[in-house]
């Protein structure tokens, strides 16, 4: 944790390490998003967003989440068996988890799901988002070469730039549609817009945050879930203990409720934490750069000015709650 605190934390007598401009670039994300905002400008945005992720607000989403999980399980049951051949068949679980996470997050943010699970295919907007990661990765590499970035940017295919533009337009259209819908629904926009006005955030700033929530919550969560399933199924003792804990805690599906999941399923929580420890959903760190000419001490080592540093909140070498192997 010392590395994390040294890079991202606040300390008396030491300037906060600013965001690395090579990573946080306006060509990749809207400058009004909390990701791009300076630490000072991010404060009111964070204050407006936090209520939407409070314990009480998330409990209000439980019926919606359960309905999506039930739909996912029905589709997995249906697609994992070939009635004509009367045999089980292989299922691309990661694809279905991506479908489900985008449906859930879209319902949470925009008030309507993408219909990916129901159709068994990617919604056009979801394709934009996934392609956006590819486009952003290419653009991000250009900024690592300051003298050549403009030349390298010209080498990026026109189709990639078009993907980036269409993603931004589609995101903005969905956000505005939800904001124009006068429904009393306790979703993300319901809580966020109300508190954003109290914080004096502009309409453009409000609009910019929704797409970030979709990006941050869908692809990354599906990656973590896929990794968890892989490690659980690769270690029979973990699978057996997890099944025993879950089936011992709940008799029926209706008994499973968010308020008592963590209290009744400590081993499941350990499995989630262990998955995040060894398999980060986001490969690249959120880099900060050392601004001071004197350098900075990070985790006991001196780092010179201009050097970028990032850290994951879990260390692979740290003492885990459990080990899969």
Return the domain boundaries, the chain. Answer: 1-18+235-325, 24-224
- List the one residue out of 283, 286, 272 whose CA is nearest residue 320: 272
Query: DSSP label at 87?
Result: E
3-state helix, strand, coil in the chain (%, to 5): 60, 5, 35
Could you tell me the two tokens for 16? 């906060």
pLDDT at position 199: 93
pTM for the full predicted model: 0.86
Supply the pLDDT for residue 324: 67
Q: What is the pLDDT of residue 27?
A: 65
User: Given phi > 0 = left and psi -120 to 50 = alpha, else beta, which region is 319?
Assistant: beta
Q: How far is CA 54 from CA 51, 191, 262, in A?
A: 5, 10, 16
- Report DSSP state, residue 53: G
Cα–Cα distance measured from residue 303 to residue 98, given in angstroms and rounded to the nearest whole number:
39
Q: What is the predicted pLDDT for the residue at 171? A: 75
The fold of the 24-224 domain, in CATH, is Cytochrome p450 (1.10.630)
> Cα–Cα distance between 111 and 118 in angstroms, integer?
16
Token pair for 111: 């008030």
CA distances from 107 to 97, 127, 153, 222, 300 (A): 15, 17, 35, 16, 45
Exposed / middle / buried, residue 15 (Cβ in 10 Å: 0-12, 13-18, 19+):
exposed
**Alpha carbons 39 and 289: distance in angstroms, whole number:** 13
Average pLDDT of adjacent 10-residue blocks, the chain of 325 residues: 83 79 75 88 94 91 94 95 86 96 92 92 83 71 71 72 73 80 82 91 87 85 96 95 95 87 90 90 85 88 92 68 64
Please give the pLDDT value at position 289. 93
The three-class DSSP label of residue 303 is strand
DSSP letters spanning 229-291? HHHHHH-HHHHHHHHHHHHHH-SSGGG--HHHHHHH-HHHHHHHHHHHHHS-S-SS---EE--
pLDDT number for residue 93: 96
pLDDT for residue 258: 86
Question: Could you give the CA distance from residue 25 to residue 31 in angstroms, rounded to a whole number?
Answer: 8
Query: What is the spatial distance between Cα 274 and Cα 283, in angstroms, rounded to a whole number?
Result: 16
User: Which residue has tokens 């090579």?
Assistant: 22
């Amino acid at each position: 944790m010392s590395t994390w605190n040294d890079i991202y934390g606040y300390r008396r007598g030491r300037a906060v390490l600013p965001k690395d401009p090579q990573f946080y670039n306006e060509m990749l994300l809207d400058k009004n998003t909390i990701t791009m905002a300076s630490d000072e400008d991010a404060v009111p945005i964070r204050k407006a967003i936090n209520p939407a992720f409070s314990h009480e607000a998330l409990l209000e989403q439980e019926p919606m989440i359960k309905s999506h999980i039930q739909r996912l399980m029905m589709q997995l049951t249906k697609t994992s068996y070939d009635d004509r051949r009367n045999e089980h068949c292989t299922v691309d679980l990661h694809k279905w988890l991506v479908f489900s996470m985008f449906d859930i997050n879209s319902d949470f943010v925009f008030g309507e799901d993408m219909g990916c699970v129901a159709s068994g295919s990617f919604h056009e907007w979801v394709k934009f988002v996934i392609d956006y990661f590819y486009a952003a990765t290419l653009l991000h590499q250009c900024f690592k070469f300051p003298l050549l970035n403009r030349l390298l940017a010209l080498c990026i295919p026109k189709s990639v730039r078009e993907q980036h533009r269409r993603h931004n337009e589609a995101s903005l259209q969905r956000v505005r549609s939800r904001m124009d819908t006068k429904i009393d629904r306790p979703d993300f926009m319901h809580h966020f817009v109300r508190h954003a006005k109290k914080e004096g955030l502009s309409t453009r700033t409000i609009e910019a945050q929704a797409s970030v929530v979709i990006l941050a919550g869908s692809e990354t969560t599906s990656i973590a879930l896929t990794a968890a399933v892989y490690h659980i199924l690769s270690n029979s003792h973990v699978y057996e203990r997890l099944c025993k804990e879950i089936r011992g805690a709940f008799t029926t599906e209706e008994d499973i409720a968010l308020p008592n999941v963590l209290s009744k399923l400590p081993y499941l929580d350990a499995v989630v934490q262990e998955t995040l420890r060894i398999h980060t959903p986001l490969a690249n760190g959120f880099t900060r750069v050392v601004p001071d000419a004197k350098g900075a001490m990070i985790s006991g080592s001196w780092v010179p000015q201009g050097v970028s540093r990032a850290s994951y909140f879990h260390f692979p070498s740290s003492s885990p709650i459990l080990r899969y192997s």
